[in-house]
Structure 1
């Protein structure tokens, strides 16, 4: 175990220290994830062009979109365990370089087979980034601040969709330049920034508080000690002390179940909203991109405002259930309404996407420590993000069968409703718990 995780007793850091950490780390992590998410999801804008230029059907597109997540999920746990041992700086740099190059290589897709292969490779390359950052944030923030820190990081997904859709739409307008299709330009020009930013990450991202030159050495030691002590107390209270024990922890399994349905909703909207909007009338790629961005503006607002209130178990559980329920309501409005009202419905659903996610990933961090935490966070993402395969794949099959991109929304609604019901059984520990305190379920 590295010195970053050495326990000792100390007082909790003040708000001033939290603000310093936010300022030094969160913007860089947000920038990295913005690029990652744009590179992961830009095929949503290319869907119709890939069909027209390469003959990739809606079902084949849905399969290719989902294959990313199968490869991603298989590599999550190994990736996070490697990061735990070699450090965040080196490993996140490696992830960014490989995914950037492979995302750019999507420009050379020639048909369904090469499309599938590159999506699998891209998933394997990016695996570990999200759970790696979730693990990394536990080195810096305690339970009371963790949902807020997770939510601040997840603003990147919102910004990626706000910026990525219009930028991607504009890049598609380069069609014909030097003999390339617009979607080829989009993949290349959106992949290269990941490689460039990787250099910045390697230079400026510390592995933990003890490596941060901008922290006073005593501050760094006290912060590291306090968080290690908090993790040990959480693991003692939950009774889960090893990675093998994670598979027997019912609360972690419930988190995975809720997260699975959540990811079905997020990626179904991510990959199929441009197609749904495109069915509303004759529009340019740029217009579709701008309208696609609106739900992600709502998501950004929700992510910035709500997670800061998840400061104890009771509040967290209420916000979690409310978020899942609002997703059901929003998707239902989107499925049955006129275009303008449907877009409002998608905004309602998206507003709580990452509020829910920030709370879900705070739960394992309150129950696990050390390598069990590294593996547990990755396991939650590994199994939960399979919803990112199931959602787009089911949406693609249903669209192919019905010739209606919106038809698959009812599948999403049903699964998210199940996830909302399951979330009521989650027990969320309070930040003030200690090693001798048994966790208790607080009714919402």
Structure 2
């Protein structure tokens, strides 16, 4: 331990590193598991698409709209949900979210037609609203900017894991078609919705609201951690109105919107694209669909650590987006095997760039502004989850091939790369912080490492 300028005890760099590792071990496995279940429940209709559409008479456009409706209700409630979590605490609010989304996910097994499909997708989006930005906000209670980007990258592994295991598991559940008089897609929804309800109890028992509530931290460790993290708020906006006036926040929102259009277009249509390229069983389609997400998991775990400065963060975003666009274009024109490889290369960048992107608005906001700002970022961004599948559905119905929509997605992600060039961290508003990036030895109290 060492003393700061005010005379209070603060942790040495070695102590902080050890503390960060302990926090990672205690928090991240549970958060990753919860996000895995979350993503399974919101995207399993991708595997159910074919058989569900036949049994219920749903067109490609109807499926695309239903897949996207989730994000309309999800986006509309992101900001109030995040502000409520900031007030009532992460443990209670995340538990509530999990119980309601688990119940509604199982209810998807009882969809009867177009109307009930639309209604349940809207309700599921409303139930899950606030979970992702809530966790991103929660991570800022525990980590500084650099470690928060790394923690976000690990958290996004949940998406990769969901898509890796979701394909084989979902394909196996679809093989239950006819068991006890239920269709395979009904078994898929029913059984994959139950883990969220069970895991909600674990979250309630194990997830501390803040460092001061963690039983595995000493009082001194919790006090030191919360003191250090509060120092970064000196250069950040505290009022939600300030967030709305920050052009950088809106730029990050637009870039994220473009990113999400592409991600969800791939998520909801990749199994169908693979299925259309050959005669594969549902299980084999699920296995092949998992390949890009294995690549995405590597990117999520490794790429954020490369973004140590603002300039490096921007470079990673721009290069990552361009690689994504290139991979999508190659996937359209290449033979099936090479097309899948190209999708894997594109997927390598999916979540590495996303975790780095969130560091830009997070570095400019704090308190209520941070809670509302992250909700605003995610609510506007995930509208891409509505636009992407809807556009892909229209393209498939118009041209007869969903893969043609990937060219449009490539153009969108190139636009994101162009805009990402102008993104700036909060510290870049101050000349002395720019000096700190060039000369790391210069101490800056507002951004402790």
TM-score by length of 1: 0.94
Match of 2:132 in 1: 130
Write the deviation string for residues 205-251 of structure 1: whole angstroms up to 9, x where unpaired. 00010000000110001101110111x1231xxxx331112122111
Superposition deviation, residue 186 in structure 1: 0.5
Contact preservation (8 Å) 1:9, 1:229? no
Superposition deviation, residue 311 in structure 1: 1.6
Write the deviation string for residues 253-296 of structure 1: whole angstroms up to 9, x where unpaired. 11101100100111000000001001111110000000000000
Match of 1:62 in 2: 64
Distance (Å, rounded) in 2 between the aligned partners of 1:269 and 1:434: 36
Match of 1:3 in 2: none
Unmatched 5+ residue regions in structure 2?
1-7, 439-449
Match of 2:234 in 1: 233
Distance (Å, rounded) in 2 between the aligned partners of 1:244 and 1:168: 44
Write the deviation string for residues 368-417 of structure 1: whole angstroms up to 9, x where unpaired. 11010000001000101111110000000010011111111111111111
Within 5 Å, which residues of 2 pair with 1:358-437?
358-429=355-426, 437=432
Cα 1:347–1:392, aligned 2, differ >3 Å: closer, same or farther? same
1:312 pairs with 2:309: yes
Question: Which residue among 346, 360, 384 is the counterpart of 2:343?
Answer: 346
Match of 1:243 in 2: 240
Question: Which residue among 139, 149, 152 is the counterpart of 1:150?
Answer: 152
Higher alpha-carbon deviation: 77-86 or 411-420: 411-420
Task: State the superposition RMSD in angstroms.
Answer: 1.8
| Number of residue pairs the alignment of both structures matches | 429
Distance (Å, rounded) in 2 between the aligned partners of 1:331 and 1:377: 28
Distance (Å, rounded) in 2 between the aligned partners of 1:42 and 1:63: 15
Match of 2:3 in 1: none
SS at match of 1:174: coil
Distance (Å, rounded) in 2 between the aligned partners of 1:348 and 1:233: 40
After TM superposition, the runs of 4+ consecutive aligned structure 1 residues lying more than 2 A away are 8-13, 433-440
Distance (Å, rounded) in 1 between the aligned partners of 2:45 and 2:322: 29
Match of 1:51 in 2: 53
Contact preservation (8 Å) 1:313, 1:429? no
1:80 pairs with 2:77: no
Superposition deviation, residue 335 in structure 1: 1.1
Within 5 Å, which residues of 2 pair with 1:131-210?
131-210=133-212
Contact preservation (8 Å) 1:169, 1:288? yes
SS at match of 1:375: helix
Higher alpha-carbon deviation: 302-311 or 380-389: 302-311
Distance (Å, rounded) in 2 between the aligned partners of 1:360 and 1:152: 14
Contact preservation (8 Å) 1:427, 1:439? no
Contact preservation (8 Å) 1:84, 1:371? yes
Superposition deviation, residue 436 in structure 1: 7.8
Within 5 Å, which residues of 2 pair with 1:282-361?
282-361=279-358
Write the deviation string for residues 299-327 of structure 1: whole angstroms up to 9, x where unpaired. 00111111112121121111111111111
TM-score by length of 2: 0.93
Distance (Å, rounded) in 2 between the aligned partners of 1:33 and 1:301: 17
Distance (Å, rounded) in 2 between the aligned partners of 1:260 and 1:300: 21
Distance (Å, rounded) in 1 between the aligned partners of 2:10 and 2:126: 40
Cα 1:83–1:46, aligned 2, differ >3 Å: closer, same or farther? same
Contact preservation (8 Å) 2:360, 2:423? no
Cα 1:379–1:9, aligned 2, differ >3 Å: closer, same or farther? farther
Match of 2:122 in 1: 120
Distance (Å, rounded) in 2 between the aligned partners of 1:288 and 1:297: 15
Distance (Å, rounded) in 2 between the aligned partners of 1:68 and 1:245: 29
